[in-house]
Amino acid sequence: MKIAILGMGNVGTGVYEILQENKSEVCRYLDKEIIPSKVLVRTLNKDRKLDIDDKVLTDRFEDILEDQDIKIVVELMGGIEPAYGYIKRAITHGKHIVTANKAVIATYGKELEELANQNGVFIKYEASVGGGIPIISTIIESLAANKIQEIVGIINGTTNYILSQMTRENLSFEEALKLAQDNGYAEADPTSDIEGEDAAFKISILTSISYGINVPSEIIEREGITKVQKSDIEYASELGYKIKLLAVSKKHGNSVEIYVHPALVPNSHPLASINNEFNALFVKGNAVGELLLCGKGAGALPTGSAVLADILSVAKAIKNEIGNDSKINDTDSNIEIKGIGKSQYYIRLQVIDKPGVLGKVAMIFGSYGISLESVVQKGRGEISVPLVFITHDIEKEILDSALKEIISYKYVENIASILKVEGM
Cβ atoms within 10 Å, residue 27: 12
* Least Cβ distance, residue 288 to a second copy (angstroms): 4
Query: What is the identity of the amino acid at 112?
Result: L
Give the one residue of 119, 167, 249, 305 binding a second copy; rule: CB under 8 A.
305
Binding flags for a second copy, 321-340, as an x/- string (CB under 8 A) = -x--x-x-x-----------
Give the one residue of 9, 85, 184, 289 binding a second copy; rule: CB under 8 A.
289
* Least Cβ distance, residue 262 to a second copy (angstroms): 22
Closer to a second copy at the Cβ: 188 or 287? 287
Per CB under 8 A, which region of 160-168, 247-255, 267-275, 341-349 contacts a second copy? Answer: 267-275
| Helix residue ranges per DSSP H, 188-266 | 191-194, 197-211, 230-238
If binding is defined by CB under 8 A, does position 29 make contact with a second copy? yes
Give the one residue of 143, 176, 228, 387 binding a second copy; rule: CB under 8 A.
143
Cβ atoms within 10 Å, residue 178: 15
Give the one residue of 115, 179, 293, 415 binding a second copy; rule: CB under 8 A.
293
Closer to a second copy at the Cβ: 137 or 401? 137
If binding is defined by CB under 8 A, does position 194 make contact with a second copy? no
Closer to a second copy at the Cβ: 16 or 61? 16
If binding is defined by CB under 8 A, does position 153 make contact with a second copy? no
355-371 burial, b for 16+ CB within 10 Å, e for fewer?
Answer: eebbebbbebbeebebe
Contact by Cβ (8 Å): 307, 74: yes
Give the one residue of 304, 370, 389, 419 binding a second copy; rule: CB under 8 A.
304
Closer to a second copy at the Cβ: 135 or 228? 135
If binding is defined by CB under 8 A, does position 297 make contact with a second copy? no
397-417 burial, b for 16+ CB within 10 Å, e for fewer?
Answer: eebeebbeebeeeeebeeebb
Residue count of the chain: 424
Which residues are CB-neighbours of 46 under 8 A, at least 6 positions away? none
If binding is defined by CB under 8 A, does position 126 make contact with a second copy? yes
Closer to a second copy at the Cβ: 239 or 301? 301
Half-sphere exposure of 110 (CA within 13 A, CB side): 13
If binding is defined by CB under 8 A, does position 306 make contact with a second copy? yes
Closer to a second copy at the Cβ: 43 or 320? 320
Given strand 35-40, what is the order of strands in its sheet?
Answer: 57-58, 35-40, 2-6, 70-75, 96-99, 123-124
Cβ atoms within 10 Å, residue 75: 26
Identify the bridge partners of residue 345 per DSSP, sorted by sequence position. Answer: 420
If binding is defined by CB under 8 A, does position 138 make contact with a second copy? yes
- DSSP letters for 321-364: T----PPP----TTPEEE---SBEEEEEEEEE--TTHHHHHHHH
Distances (CA, A) of 330 to 139, 142, 323, 326, 384: 16, 20, 20, 12, 54
Report the alpha-carbon angle 58-63-66, nearest 5. 160
88 is catalytic: no
Give the one residue of 102, 296, 348, 420 binding a second copy; rule: CB under 8 A.
296
Give the one residue of 116, 260, 312, 370 binding a second copy; rule: CB under 8 A.
312
If binding is defined by CB under 8 A, does position 364 make contact with a second copy? no
If binding is defined by CB under 8 A, does position 2 make contact with a second copy? no
Cβ atoms within 10 Å, residue 222: 20
If binding is defined by CB under 8 A, does position 134 make contact with a second copy? yes
Per CB under 8 A, which region of 55-63, 133-141, 342-350, 384-392 contacts a second copy? Answer: 133-141
Residues binding a second copy: what is the number (CB under 8 A)? Answer: 55
CA gap 179, 201 in Å, rounded: 25
CA gap 344, 293 in Å, rounded: 26
- Single out the catalytic residue among 71, 95, 202, 251: 202
Give the one residue of 52, 56, 115, 291 binding a second copy; rule: CB under 8 A.
291
If binding is defined by CB under 8 A, does position 113 make contact with a second copy? no
φ, ψ of residue 327 to 5 degrees: the values are -85, 140
Closer to a second copy at the Cβ: 73 or 133? 133
Q: Which stretches of the chain bind a second copy, using CB under 8 A?
A: 14, 18-19, 21-22, 25-26, 28-29, 31, 126, 132-134, 137-138, 141-147, 212, 268, 270, 273, 285-296, 299, 301-302, 304-306, 308-309, 311-313, 320, 322, 325, 327, 329
Q: Which residues are catalytic?
A: 202
